A and B are shown apart, each in its own frame.
Chain A
Amino acid sequence: MTVWAMIIITHTVFLHLYYEFPLVQSATDSVVFNGTIAGLGFFYGFAFRFISLGNHSVNTTVSYAALILAGMLIVLLSFKHVMLFIFATDATFVLFVNDTLILRATASGLYFAIIILLYYLLKYTEDLHEKVLNEANLQQIIQQTALDALKSQLNPHFIFNSLNSISSLTISNPEKAQQMVIKLSDFLRRSLQNGDKKTRTLAQEMETIQLYLDIEKIRFGDRLSVLYKISDECLSVQLPNMILQPLFENAIKFGLYDTLDDVEIITSAVVDKSILTITITNPYDSKTQPPKGKGIGLKNTEQRLKIHYRLDHVIVTTKTNDTFAVTLNIPVSL
């Protein structure tokens, strides 16, 4: 605003002193000309709020040029008509207005170019700031998830019970004890290694899951069975690291730790129209578990996916009386 006021005053003073037009005439000229530019400028600024910068294609350059040209045209036409209407009787001034139209066209074009550039820069820094914030947020969540993953895999309950099972097996079945030691080590090693690479394939992800489920199978014997329905084309799809682990931990926690019957955990995965759909189903008992919405594991996974893919509703959960299913819909990046 102050910038515009100063421009208007300078313009007025210049006309008044240099061309020696009366003050009223100079001021009117200045206000109408600069005012129109300012008004349009504000309108452009408003429009900028709602467009995204996107890619720097030829299209955007063309549309910026169109904005400048349209601005020039509107300013010139409105200025000319208004001036001629107000000061129609003053021949010198009419002549002056007509003579300076070209100059004014150039000036207004320059103004608009500067206005658009300023808005562009403003928008650009805002976007950059947001991007940086998002990135920082993402980093934090990834670190938190890595930490949570570590904590849950180094979950004392899981580790010490597994070690107790091994201790028991050394008496009854040393060979199986050895198998379990190796599986547990393998699983822990994979858990500790993650975090370097941002994504890995579903096949790699499932190998880790399988180790985890194998260990639980040794602990709980026949009670746990695991069914995989994963079609081959899914295996090479890239996923954020350790994204499935919390979901399987939930399935085990509610399906196995808190039920008395045999438990089957079903994992299915298909790719359709560039969307990978993974569903993990486990039985659960609605009676002993007060429904408390989404747990921490599910929330973290959801947030990670949301930021990674910039999509909502990547996770869908479905509950029936005795089964709980969590479904991920992940875009397949080629």
Chain B
Amino acid sequence: MRAIIIDDEVLARDIVSAYIKDFPEIEVIGECSNGFEGVKMINEQKPDLIFLDIQMPKITGFEMLELLDHEPLVIFSTAFDQYAIKAFELSATDYLLKPYDKGRFAEAIAKVKEKFTLQTSDHTAKTPIIYPQQEDVLDRIVVKLGNKINIISTEEIIYIEAQDDYVSIHTTEAKYLKQITMKYLEAHLPQDQFVRTHRSYIAAINAIDKIEVYEKESYILHLKHGAKINVSRSGYSKLKQVLNF
């Protein structure tokens, strides 16, 4: 098995390297000190396993996972257990609380091996990324455009459009694709800033310019910067509510 260690503290990476020497079947092929390096190295090297810290500069371990084309097994390691539930919802294989000893580390490796053999024997068993079901309100979204990772503040978003398995996020500057569901975004974007106007559209309330009648019981929403999006009947009543008309 090939593994990558991602942690912003060198001493934290060192201890993983030290413990893993007891498992010659696992080879550490690289170390990264932040999520940006992590995305790049994982997509290039396609490791089987990553050790992932959560609180890191710029983008968190969770946000990094959203940007991967390749999905390795994940062992989270963090100092603080407020993330534990979220980590398991992200279908982490295991979760190490710092500081941890060799025995606990060995347990995590055992779980990884078990899952790894299951995966290799059955290629369809690959677990898709499940987005955390929790109360968090998003204040930013991390996306990848080419090789560049962008952090979009929710305040920059004008509207979001569903496109099959992806959504396209339109900001004042550009348009980004991200693999995420409309349902998830609707639930986690700040309620006072966004409104779902249609099965396929979420609009930023601040960007709304005017509403135009299109056909009977169907409307077109004009947004700043010239965008126009569809409004369904239920979307119209939601708009009525948030805009007080």
> Which residues from chain A sit less than 8 Å from chain B, CB to CB?
156-157, 159-161, 163-169, 171-172, 218-221, 257-260, 285, 287-288, 290
Contacts and interface: CB of A to CB of B under 8 A. Distances in A.
Given A257-B55, A288-B58, A165 B151 contact: no
Given A288-B58, A288-B151, A164 B99 contact: yes
B11 A168 contact: yes
Contacts of B8: 220, 257
Contacts of A156: 79-80
Given A156-B80, A290-B155, A164 B58 contact: no
B105 to A, nearest CB: 11
Interface hub of A163, A167, A221, A290 (most chain B Cβ within 10 A): A167
Given A164-B99, A290-B139, A221 B10 contact: yes
A175 to B, nearest CB: 14
Contacts of A169: 11
Contact of A161 (B12, B57, B139, B153): B12
5 contacts: A161-B9, A165-B11, A165-B12, A168-B18, A287-B151
A307 to B, nearest CB: 33
Interface of A is mostly: helix
Contacts of A168: 11-12, 14-15, 18
Contacts of A219: 9, 11
Nearest to B101: A167
Contacts of B98: 160-161, 163-164, 167
A219 B55 CA distance: 14
Contacts of A220: 8-10
Nearest to B18: A171
4 tightest Cβ-Cβ pairs between the two chains A and B: A160-B79, A164-B98, A168-B15, A167-B99
B58 A171 contact: no
Given A163-B99, A260-B57, A260-B58, A157 B79 contact: yes
Given A156-B80, A163-B98, A163-B99, A260 B12 contact: no
Interface of B: 8-12, 14-15, 18, 33-34, 36, 55, 57-58, 79-80, 97-99, 139-140, 151, 153, 155
Interface hub of B11, B55, B97, B155 (most chain A Cβ within 10 A): B11
Contacts of B155: 290
Contacts of B57: 257-260
Given A258-B58, A260-B36, A290-B153, A161 B79 contact: yes
Contacts of A157: 55, 79-80
Given A161-B12, A260-B33, 8 more contacts: A160-B80, A168-B11, A168-B12, A168-B18, A218-B11, A257-B55, A260-B34, A260-B58
Nearest to B77: A164
Contacts of B80: 156-157, 160
A260 B99 CA distance: 24
Contacts of A257: 8, 55, 57
B176 to A, nearest CB: 16
B15 A171 contact: yes
Nearest to A256: B57
A288 B36 CA distance: 13
Nearest to B10: A221
A217 to B, nearest CB: 12
